[in-house]
Structure formats: C-alpha cells, structure tokens
Structure 1
C-alpha cells in the first residue's frame, strides 16, 4: 500500500497558535497512515516537486503572503490533485494579496465582532458528495470568534452560523455565513473551517470530528 504524505505548513501570527492547533491533528493523520512533514517557512512552497508528491497540505499560517512562484506552485499542485485544508485565519485570513490562492480556497476573512461570541453552528443538509464530513452531527453551540467572510457559489457549504446585528451596527438584519465548506479545484479537494482561533476551539468534540474528517476527505485517495 502506498504511504500517503501530508505537509503541515504553520507559522505567521502567533495569536492563532499555529503549532498548538496543528498538533491537535498531526497525530490523527499519523494514525491514519500519513507520513507527516512539518514546515515552518513558506519557502517550502518553492519546491514544486514536493508539492506534487504531497497528498494533503494543511495550511496554518495567519497573515502571510506568498511569492508569485510559491502561489503558482501551490495552486498548480492542488489543480493536479493535491488536497488542501485549513481552519480559521490560518487559511482565510492569510495571503490576501494572492488572488489565485483566494480563488482556490473560496473565501476570505473580513471581520469579526470584538471578543468571543456565543453562537450556533448549524449543520446544513448535505449532498451525498460531502455528507460523510458531518454525518451524525447536529447543530451545536460554540464560544469563539465569529467570522464575517466573503465566499462564492462554487463552495459546498456544510455548516453555517448567523451573525446578528449589534445595537449600533451598520446592518440591521441577521446575516448567515458559512462556517464549514468544501470545494473542488481542478483535480484537488479543498476543505475550510472558519472555527479554530485557539486549541480549545478545535477540541470541541463536534469541531474536532468535522476537521478530522475534512482533512481525510481533502487528501488525495
């Protein structure tokens, strides 16, 4: 049996604890039979051969920016079948100057209310293609940052939340945003979860299950 390879790329702004958060899932990947490599420098994306031989990239780098070559190598690898996954600011609050990256990921963080908010993660009715990621999970409550994001219609939305207007806010009706989505990009699969500001968020049982399954789903078979 072929050994699958996972590349965990982590770093950037330390407020999202990229090392701690990725360590929630690297043992799980290893137990699933992945050979896991950890990179703490975006220069790893300069190695097109490594990316092409990788079955899953887990990106946890908040506030970064890819060079043109790094972006081209990463996107080309995903289009050819390398899986790509991540959570929170480490995947959609990063590389904001890299349009090809953002198109591949299918979303961008814009804003969140100050502090942690209590809100409900609403599990969506799933097409057969992605139902495995949230199978058996029902709506659940979390207390964490509540992301306002831009997304597009190519995403398959697996979970949502509703952000209510504040008393002095510039909008006056509740707005629903995706919390979890998947996306096909060329031959590659992309998984995104907007939860995950801190280790405790990723240890919520439902979130841990969703992210763990999402990583497995995104990986090249």
Structure 2
C-alpha cells in the first residue's frame, strides 16, 4: 500500500522559526511513514493534486495568499484532506481571509506579557490525543484567541490577570479539533519557536493531533 502523503508549506514572519519548525514536523511525519512535500511558497496550495494529500500543515505567520492558492487549500480540506497546525503559524496566517479563519477555528489576537510561565490544563483526558498527558507547566507566549464555539476543546489555559486585568479568570482554549467539510482540523496554540518541540507534552500533543487529522 502506498505511503500517506503530506504537504508542509512554511514562510511568513521569521520570529516563529518557520523553516526550522517545519523541518521538525517533516521529520516527525516521515517517522510515521509519510511522503512529505516541503515548500516555501503558498502556490503549492494551488497545485491540481493538493487535495490528494492525506495531510496539510501550514507553518506560515501573517503573510498573504493568492485566490487560487486559498481556493485550493480550502477545497482540499473540505474534500477530506486533514489540516494540522500550531501557534501563529496556523492561527495567525492570512489575516485578510475570514474563510481561512473559519476553517481553522480561531485567530490569534494577543499574548499579554509575551514570553511567560503558565499552565496547560487538560480538559479531555479521555480523548486519545490526550491519553496519559496531565496538566503541565509551560513557558512561551500565552495565546489569547478568538475561537469558534464549535471547536472540541482538549486543553485550556487560565489567564491570571497579571499582564492584563481585563481577561483575569478567562479559560482560553489551547488545543482543539474540529471538522471542515469532510476534513479533520487540529490545532495547538503551543510552539512559538522550534525549540518548544523539545517539550515532551507539546510534541506528543501535536504529533497525535496531526495523525488524527490525516486522512
């Protein structure tokens, strides 16, 4: 049987180490037998065969996307190709494209305090993606997102008001999964830079989520 295939497209703001993070994900997927296409241009989404991939992983912050590439990406996921991403490299890409945000289930809007210490609370320990993962401490940007209530939330983080009194006590989704058409969509807000994949819980959650999303 032929290997499953994945498309990883990286680019945008360099502060999120897009090439390095994409390389980590490429190795991760290859370890699971995927044949990976690795690209630094969103035009890869406009390829006629984009919908034949098992999984797409965008690693792009901000940036813009052409209409053909956007249509190709949306159509592929709607048709059944999985989508998996992390941090701003999925949920702060293509800010001018609301349909893209509708597909991903959220959009970054703030990270009060920038790099800080906070906790991740597992809300669905019964989900296979979270099996054996317990609440853990994390150091990174604590993302505040505008999120879709349809999302199936697997983990949250609580804002304590230290850096923004207005959001004190808010439990913000950190990890979720959802559907877009026939496609599975997975997102984790963790992963500001490539080095965060060295955190076992972060890596495990994304790896399992990506495999869940893949067709």
| TM-score interval, smaller chain | over 0.9
What runs of 5+ residues in structure 2 fail to find an aligned partner? none
Deviation of the 1:106 alpha carbon: 0.4
Secondary structure in 2 matching 1:133: helix
What runs of 5+ residues in structure 1 fail to find an aligned partner? none
Q: Which residue of 2 aligns with 1:139?
A: 135
Deviation of the 1:50 alpha carbon: 2.2
Secondary structure in 2 matching 1:24: helix
Deviation of the 1:187 alpha carbon: 0.7
Give the whole-Å Cα distance in 2 for the aligned partners of 1:64 and 1:53: 25
Q: Does 1:40 align with 2:40?
A: yes
Poorly superposed stretches of 4+, deviation over 4 Å: none
1:140–1:67 Cα change, 3 Å = same
Q: Are the counterparts in 1 of residues 125 and 133 from structure 2 also a CA contact under 8 Å?
A: no
Secondary structure in 2 matching 1:76: helix
Secondary structure in 2 matching 1:26: helix
Q: Which residue of 1 aligns with 2:160?
A: 164
RMSD: 1.4
Q: Are the counterparts in 2 of residues 71 and 100 from structure 1 also a CA contact under 8 Å?
A: no
Using the size of structure 2 for normalisation, the TM-score is: 0.95
Using the size of structure 1 for normalisation, the TM-score is: 0.93
Q: Does 1:69 align with 2:68?
A: yes
